[in-house]
């Protein structure tokens, strides 16, 4: 039994190593392991191994040829790149270093070689593009617009905690970048971080699933072994009862031969003592065996439960991160969409009042232009936190995009809503900002409306957005209410 368990474990590890070589074989391996674990005889196991060998023979093993072909293409590409005279010395030296490297052996080493070659190609394309486009690029405003848009996109990205600082550093580099030709390089950095974060998350998920699979397999094997032991103990118990029955028959026969009550009493007492001792020994033996076995099973179940809870906690944390804005740490647009559906459904069911407001920071672009994007980030963060702390528990605020925030205010009248929004506006206006030793007062404009039963979520939002547009065009730093005719 122990050797079979060891074989199953070894096969699991070997099949993991062979994963993603062929989709058909991957699917077959899952079925093969299940059949192997349930095989009851050596003949059945041999039959399964023969079947698996036949499956492998149907798949051509041309991996080594493909790797050698890829290595040859890599060498040819390096030689072609070295012939380009206009490439910088740093790129040429990197190509020379690659040519001096020993021939790769493992699949990972072949992959690393191709990855390095792709990076060199990317850098070469950027350099050649600079030289080709430099005389014709003079539209600075377009480049600045792309810079701003790229930074906003980075703020919307959700990556693992280990990659947040790297992503933020790239965003700062873009803020301080004066060379428009460096933008593709920064884009590649962002893409690399996203890929690395995705791989890390996939690795964590795969590790958990493998661990879970191993735990379940071990639990299954232990449970099967326990059942087998139980069957053996049941047979022993059956034998004990047969012995007791035989002794009872002997007692009956002896009682018919005895002449005195005293001798009969002694025989009965001795029989009772023997039965009690046999039963006690049997119960003690069984209790000890089952206690040890089931304690081990309980430990395994608890370990499995702890691993599952840990993974659930990780998933819950990741889900929460997906709904939090990277910069302001308040709910993002995705979270807003979900909450809006819930509130609209509740409004139409219970017919309580529901108000929606759109908030926009006045002249925000001039803050970025005058004091830099870091100052703009600080403004967004401070205002977002102030708004979050100033609303009721029943209200819900989210960063809708850029310098715009969306707010839901349920179960208060339009008059009360206007008073509350004006308080928010005054509180923001009173925040003492200072940039480059210059004191600055920042204002917000707000447009809001009240839901009607005939409204969809988009209808009310567009109406509130129109109210905001009116507030911006009639002087800013004000609250404007817009409502269509009631039903």
pLDDT tens-place string over residues 106-141: 777 777 877 887 888 887 888 777 766 554 445 566
CA dist., res. 435 & res. 393, Å (int)? 33
Backbone angles phi, psi at 168, to 5 degrees: -65, -35
The bridge status of strand 438-440 relative to strand 433-435 is antiparallel
Asked whether the predicted pLDDT for residue 148 surpasses 60, the reply is yes
Dmax over CA atoms of the chain, in Å, equals 131
The CA-CA-CA angle for residues 111, 113, 114, to 5°, reads 65
| Predicted TM-score of the model (pTM) | 0.47
CA dist., res. 163 & res. 165, Å (int)? 6
* DSSP letter (8 states) at residue 484: P
Asked whether the predicted pLDDT for residue 2 surpasses 50, the reply is no
What is the tens place of the pLDDT at every residue in 76-92? Answer: 877 887 778 778 878 88
Query: How far apart are the two ends of the chain, measured CA to CA in Å?
Result: 77
Give pLDDT, residue 226: 67
Kindly report the number of other CB atoms within 10 A of residue 187's CB atom: 15
φ/ψ bin of 399: left (φ > 0), alpha (ψ from -120 to 50), beta (otherwise): beta
């Amino acid at each position: 039994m122990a050797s079979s368990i060891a074989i199953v474990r070894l096969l699991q590890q070997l099949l993991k190593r062979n994963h993603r070589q062929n989709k058909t074989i991957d699917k077959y391996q899952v079925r093969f392991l299940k059949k192997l674990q349930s095989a009851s005889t050596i003949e059945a196991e041999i039959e399964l191994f023969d079947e698996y060998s036949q499956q492998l023979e149907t798949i051509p093993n041309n991996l080594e040829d493909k790797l050698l072909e890829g290595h040859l293409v890599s060498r040819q590409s390096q030689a072609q790149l070295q012939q380009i005279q206009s490439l910088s010395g740093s790129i040429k030296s990197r190509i020379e270093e690659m040519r001096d490297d020993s021939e790769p052996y493992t699949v990972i080493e072949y992959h690393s070689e191709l990855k390095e070659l792709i990076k060199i190609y990317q850098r070469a394309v950027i350099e050649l593009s600079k030289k080709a486009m430099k005389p014709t690029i003079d539209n600075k405003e377009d480049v600045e617009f792309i810079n701003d848009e790229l930074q906003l996109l980075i703020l919307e990205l959700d990556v693992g905690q280990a990659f947040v600082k790297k992503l933020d550093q790239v965003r700062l580099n873009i803020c301080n970048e004066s060379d428009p030709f460096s933008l593709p390089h920064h884009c590649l950095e962002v893409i690399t971080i996203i890929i690395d974060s995705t791989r890390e998350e996939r690795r964590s998920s795969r590790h958990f699933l493998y661990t879970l699979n191993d735990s379940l397999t071990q639990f299954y094997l232990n449970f099967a072994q326990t059942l087998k032991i139980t069957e053996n103990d049941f047979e022993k118990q059956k034998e004990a009862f047969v012995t007791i029955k035989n002794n009872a028959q002997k007692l009956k026969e002896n009682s018919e031969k005895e002449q005195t009550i005293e001798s009969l009493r002694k025989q009965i007492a001795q029989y009772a003592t023997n039965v009690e001792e046999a039963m006690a020994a049997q119960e003690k033996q069984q209790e000890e065996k089952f206690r040890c076995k089931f304690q081990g099973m309980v430990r395994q179940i608890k370990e499995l439960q702890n691993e599952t809870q840990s993974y659930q906690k990780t998933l819950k944390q990741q889900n929460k991160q997906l709904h939090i804005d990277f910069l302001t740490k308040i709910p993002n647009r995705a979270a807003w969409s979900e909450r809006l559906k819930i509130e609209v459904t509740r409004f139409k069911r219970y017919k309580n009042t529901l108000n929606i407001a759109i908030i926009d920071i006045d002249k925000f672009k001039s803050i970025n232009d005058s004091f830099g994007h870091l100052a703009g980030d600080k403004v967004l963060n401070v205002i977002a936190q102030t708004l979050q702390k100033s609303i009721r528990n029943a209200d819900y605020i989210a960063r809708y995009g850029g310098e715009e925030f969306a707010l839901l205010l349920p179960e208060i009248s339009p008059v009360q809503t206007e008073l509350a929004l004006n308080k928010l506006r005054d509180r923001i206006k009173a925040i003492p900002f200072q940039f480059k030793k210059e004191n600055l007062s920042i204002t917000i404009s707000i447009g809001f409306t009240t839901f009607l039963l005939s409204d969809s979520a988009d209808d009310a939002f567009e109406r509130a957005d129109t109210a905001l547009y009116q507030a911006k065009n009639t002087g800013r730093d004000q609250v404007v209410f817009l409502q269509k005719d009631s039903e």
